[in-house]
Structure 1
Amino acid sequence: MHDVVIAGAGPVGLFLAGELALSGCSVLVLERDQDPNPPWKTLPLGLRGLNAGSAETFYRRGLLEAMVKASGVSAEKVGADPEAVEAPAPRELSHFAGIRLDAADIDTAALPFRLPSPAMEGFMTSLEAVATVLAEQASALGVEIIRGAPVTAVSQDDEGVVTTAGGQRYRTRWLVGCDGGRSAVRELAGFAFVGTEPLFTGYVAKVTLADPEQLPLGFNPTPNGMYLRTPLEGHLGMMDFDGGAFDRSKPLTRDHLQTVLRRVSGTDVTVDEVHLASSFTDRAMQTTTYREGRVLLAGDAAHIHSPLGGQGLNLGIGDAMNLGWKLAATVHGHAAEGLLDSYTSERHPVGAAVLDWSRAQVATMKPGPNAPALRRLVRDLMSTPDGTTQVYRRTSGLFHHYDLGHEHSLVGRSAPDFRFDDGTRLGDLMHQGRGVALDFTSDRALRGAAQRWAGRIRYASGSVRDGLGLAAVLVRPDGVVAWASDTPDRDAFGQAAAQWFATPEN
């Protein structure tokens, strides 16, 4: 019997599988599709953006270099100068409702606790590239992946879960649904799924146009919706504000796509051929909890929204990073009280905020006689330093804050990439998925306290280039600061360690 069964071998499921296996759990992944790289995962339909927070996550697990290479991105566009003393200003910025903003307008002084890091920027990738890297890592860690096995039944008791998939029954201690927006696990386990209904049907397609010069590149709002044409050959996106009526209701024929494109673009553009096409909506839904007994959800299985701004994949990666170490500790029997439930309490508000961010973008794009005035107002507000900085905070994935009940303002935030004088960085110390105790004063008492959790917390001491005025920091396995102090307080450290890592080992 496996410790954990994961439904879904997309990026979220595979990353979670790797996190659990890294912590010594036996993991089985059940995937509905037989083909690991169906056409919709490859470019152009599989185009996705990884934000800086996801880049930082992969860096902390030693996966960033492989991810950048698989994505065909120049490494210089992702990281900071390794010799930099101060964190550089961001080079790129996401959009809001198709409104492009200038990263030069970001007020870097308003972004606290930033240090240079090999992961400072997001980058474009594909679902195929991300899934390939994560599948290789999961397999290397001993994760078993079975494809062509859709989940059809789920039942649970106090001891475990029985999952039926591909005609086989699998008994496991825990089940995690990472099986996407139409999650079978979510439905079968009885999760409540609530939210708002769609305003538009969206389309993404690879087509051959007879006259592509009629459609300018970039986001193009019109009186009838919006269309997007990217530099990728034949790659188009459209939003038709029909209340989501067409999504998955009829075949995506050439005639239908041409009709929608002409209406939305206000041109007589001709679609010669459709190579690939899919539809989506801006339906924004979220489960009321991410855990029902021994069944948990992550990624699109727990929350769905429009793909505007590219937040979906990043939100799911954040879920998996938060859940992995907590579920592993529960499996091994050394989870602190309430640790697994903190997955919902921490990640549910983050998901809710992303859904609201998506809704606000849709409201800004909705056609109507007042739409141009609203867009002009939003553009003016967001083009200010405060507005641009807020967009970066909300989309970069670097500035989430969990309320962990500690007065220090760094606690609950992603840890800065502290660099020791020997060149070692915090990110280097996190590859094995353990917590990290950073002692910038080499205090013997603090070292002794940290060694009591030696199997769960890695201790590192020495002077650093910039300690931000701190003497010691405790970082959770997911990179979140659990405790920080300007003095090496052994007792306070012990209390914080016990809160997140339960009783010491000796």
Structure 2
Amino acid sequence: MTHDVLIAGAGPNGLMLACELALAGVRPVVLERLSAPSLEPKANGLVGQVIRLLDHRGLYERLGGGPGTPRPAPAFVFGAFPLDLHRLEANPLHTLPVPQHRIEEVLGAWARELGVTVRRGCEVRAFTQDDDGVTVDVHGPDGTERLRARYLVGADGGRSTVRKLAGIGFPGVTSPDPVSRVAHVLLPDDVRANAAGELVLPGCPTPFRPFTHTRTEHGVFVVAPLGPDATLVATMEWGGEPVDESEPATLDELRASIRRVTGADLALAPARTPGPHILRRQCGHNTRLAERYRQDRVLLVGDAAHVHAATGGPGLNLGLQDAANLGWKLAAELRGWAPPGLLDSYQRERHPIGRRVFMHSQAQMALMSSGPAVTALRALFGELLSHEDNLARIAALMAGSDIRYDSDCPHQLAGRFVPDLPLVTAAGPTRLAEAARSARPLLLDLDGRGAELTDLVAGWKDRVDVVSASCPEPPAGALLVRPDGYVAWATGPGEADPDGLTRALRTWFGEPVAVRF
């Protein structure tokens, strides 16, 4: 039996890709090395444009967001600078606090609803490629078996076996600094909150804003109250004494680090919540980007393609959008309607975004490091952030909303993630995000040209949906939206561009089929 797609890794990125493929009519098989989902604390939430993508799939509310359009975050952080985003007229940055194990739980349930097969305890050990597919050696509970698939996708993390076996280089930067320590703890009673909601530590004149990074002259301190029985605290230090990494981290070690960074001596106690609890140390950081995201019939998504510092939480925003970008293109290839070069556009579109996260994650680490030169740099950077246009640029960078894919369409929305427009259709009020739940290409008619557009798209009706609606302040007369939420073509209100629409349909969704009347 030949499978359509084998996906190595059942983390968020692998599961998201599997669901995208299933929505497009492809039945992937997910191979996961672990026999059960991991409860190890990892990411604490979602940041950026991925939240709007998940709203397109009906997952935002399932992950704990409220009903309706996701609301932007009033504040965030960049390189230990607080970003007061309420100052922005158009704030692009969204956040959703949800632990990674819950994200995997929700995506796993969605995968089951869509009929995706997830095989646990199965590890990819080797593979060979030919012109028609990939032959994969998989070690599982019953020994080693050989599976055949048309494509193999590595979603197996930063130490990706698939990437290594494919011979794809992973260049980047490895630094011994900083040394990071983090734990769930109980803080002593003499830690109090001031009128601004900041935490004041005994013996320390600097108050600390919760849920953000605060730089001192000696490092970075983070404090995040999680309720009466647990607080997450973390430190980052540069240029300290060498650490014996073979020794496990302890609360006494963290207490000493807090004292060096803040000047406060805190009597830390273990958290009282059921757990699992974090108590760990990490020496240095690793920033790497795969040389390419595709090697013939093998592709990479998520951490298998890029690793970086977690500051600002860009990882899932980047990886889950990799999956959404790849999913519909790979499905189009498998179903036979992909135009030439569509699958290669995954590399063209997503690799530069990986480079951009590579850049800003390193920039943030540099801004948080110790030393008088960095302090001077921060003074200048703080002045720049006092200007609204600079604040907006940093917010867009962290959100990923500054992404604009190449397009020959001149409309300002072309190549960008589509706004969530309030719509009124024949069935009643809705939102564009709700109209996109099928994950199919969508031609949105806001000018009342329904019959004309339906005729133009007739040859693509097997793969493109047409929705006619009114909108209070339409930004376009019509929009062609890709399954990953990005605008492939648009035209102004009252304008017609049949040639541009036909060109975009052929570019992204292949040749039309013959229509019989």
TM-score normalised by L of structure 2? 0.86
Answer whether contact 2:81 2:214 (CA < 8 A) is retained: no
Distance 1:222 1:302, change over 3 A: same
Which of 109, 123, 132 is the aligned partner of 1:136? 109
Q: Is the 8 A contact 1:50 1:125 kept in 2?
A: no
**Structure number with bigger Rg:** 2
Q: Which residue of 1 aligns with 2:491?
A: 485
Task: Tell me if 1:434 matches 2:417.
Answer: no
Cα distance between partner residues in 2 of 1:298 and 1:455: 28
Q: Which residue of 1 aligns with 2:418?
A: 415
The Cα shift of 1:130 comes to 1.1
Q: CA-atom RMSD, angstroms?
A: 2.5
For 1:247 and 1:390, locate their aligned partners in 2 and report how far apart those are by CA, in whole Å: 41
Alignment of 1:28-47 (within 5 A): 28-41=29-42, 46-47=43-44
Q: Distance in 1 between matches of 2:245 and 2:404?
A: 37
In structure 2, do the counterparts of structure 1 residues 243 and 154 end up closer, same or farther at CA, with 3 Å as the change threshold?
farther
CA 1:29–1:476: 2 relative to 1, 3 Å: same
The one-letter code of the counterpart of 2:438 is: Q
Indicate whether 1:425 and 2:431 are aligned: yes
Q: Do 2:122 and 2:138's aligned partners in 1 also have CA atoms closer than 8 Å?
A: yes
The answer on 1:324 being equivalent to 2:327 is yes
Native 8 Å contact 2:418 2:481 kept in 1 = yes
Task: Find 1:314's aligned residue among 312, 317, 333.
Answer: 317
Alpha-carbon displacement from aligned partner over 1:238-263 (angstroms, at most 9, x marks no partner) = 21225997596543344544443433
Quick one: distance in 2 between partners of 1:144 and 1:245? 46
- Whether the aligned pair in 2 keeps the contact of 1:161 and 1:173 (CA below 8 Å) is yes
Structure 2 matches for 1:301-450, cutoff 5 A? 301-422=304-425, 423-439=429-445, 440-450=447-457
- How far 1:64 moved relative to its partner? 1.8
Aligned-partner residue type, residue 204 of structure 1: V
3-state secondary structure, aligned to 1:328:
helix
**Secondary structure at 2:172 match in 1:** strand
1:189 aligns with 2:183: no
Indicate the residue corresponding to 2:81 in structure 1.
99
- Report Cα offsets for 1:213-270 as digits up to 9, x if no partner: 2474533322332121111223122212259975965433445444434333333334
Deviating more after overlay: 455-464 vs 335-344: 455-464
State how far apart, in whole Å, the 2-side matches of 1:337 and 1:374 are: 48
Task: State the secondary structure of the residue aligned to 2:278.
Answer: strand
Secondary structure of the 1:327 match is helix
Q: CA deviation at 1:187?
A: 1.4
Q: How far 1:408 sits from its partner (Å)?
A: 2.1
Tell me the equivalent position of 1:502. 510
The alpha-carbon deviation at position 273 of structure 1 amounts to 4.4
Whole-Å Cα distance in 1 between the matches of residues 341 and 222 of structure 2?
Answer: 45
Indicate how the Cα distance of structure 1 residues 161 and 349 shifts in structure 2: closer, same or farther if over 3 A, else same.
Answer: same
SS state at 1:205 partner:
strand
1:341 maps to amino acid: D
Residue in structure 2 matched with residue 457 of structure 1 by the alignment? 464
Change (3 A) 1:458 1:16: same
* One-letter identity of the residue aligned with 1:296: L
In structure 2, runs of 5+ residues without a counterpart are 192-200, 203-207, 272-276
Provide the rounded CA distance (Å) in 2 between the counterparts of 1:472 and 1:22: 24
Name the aligned partner's letter for residue 223 of structure 1.
E
Correspondence for 1:123? 96
Q: Residue 66 of structure 1 aligns to a residue in which SS?
A: coil
Measured after TM superposition, the shift of residue 2 of structure 1 is: 1.7
Alignment of 1:42-191 (within 5 A): 46-51=43-48, 53-68=49-64, 73-75=65-67, 79=70, 90-108=72-90, 121-166=94-139, 167-191=144-168
Distance 1:414 1:334, change over 3 A: same
Larger CA deviation: 424-433 vs 205-214: 205-214
1:480-502: per-residue Cα shift (whole Å, max 9, x none)?
11111132333321111000001
The residue type paired with residue 165 of structure 2 is L
Q: Give per-residue Cα distances to partners, 1:21-69, cap 9 Å, x unaligned.
A: 111111111112222132325xxxx412332x1221111112222112x
The SS at the match of 1:200 is: strand
Partner of 2:181: 203
Equivalent in the alignment of 2:218: 224
Say if 1:350 and 1:442 are closer, same or farther in 2 by CA, change over 3 A.
same
Separation in structure 2 between the aligned mates of residue 250 and residue 498 of structure 1, nearest angstrom: 59
The offset of 1:335, in angstroms, is 0.8
What amino acid is aligned across from residue 85 of structure 2 in structure 1? A
CA distance in 2, matches of 1:143, 1:245: 47
Amino acid at match of 1:442: R
* CA contact 2:125–2:137 (8 Å) conserved in 1: yes
Indicate conservation of the 8 Å contact 1:191/1:292, yes or no: yes
Deviation at 1:15, TM superposition (A): 0.8
Q: How far has the Cα of 1:362 moved from its partner?
A: 0.8
Secondary structure at the aligned position of 2:61 is classed as helix
Report the secondary structure of 1:415's partner residue.
coil
Q: 1:285 is paired with a residue of what secondary structure? A: strand
State the SS of the aligned residue for 1:353: helix
Question: Does the CA contact (< 8 Å) of 1:161 and 1:172 recur in 2?
Answer: yes
3-state SS of paired residue (2:506):
helix
Match status 1:262 vs 2:272:
no
Q: Which residue of 1 aligns with 2:194?
A: none
In 2, distance between residues paired with 1:7 and 1:236? Answer: 34
For 1:3, the equivalent position in structure 2 comes to: 4
The count of corresponding residues between Structure 1 and Structure 2 is 477
Shift of 1:323: 0.8
Q: Using the TM superposition, name which of 371-380 and 133-142 deviates more.
A: 371-380
Q: What is the TM-score when the length of structure 1 is the normalising length? A: 0.88
Q: 1:292 matched to which residue of 2? A: 295
Which residue type is aligned with residue 8 of structure 2? Answer: A
Q: Which amino acid aligns with 1:416?
A: P
- Once the two structures are superposed, residues 395-433 of structure 1 have per-residue CA deviations (whole angstroms, 9 ceiling, x without a partner) of 223331111233222110011223333313322221111
Gapped regions of structure 1 (runs ≥ 5)? 81-89, 115-119
The structure where helix makes up a greater share of residues is 1
2: distance between equivalents of 1:327 and 1:244? 49
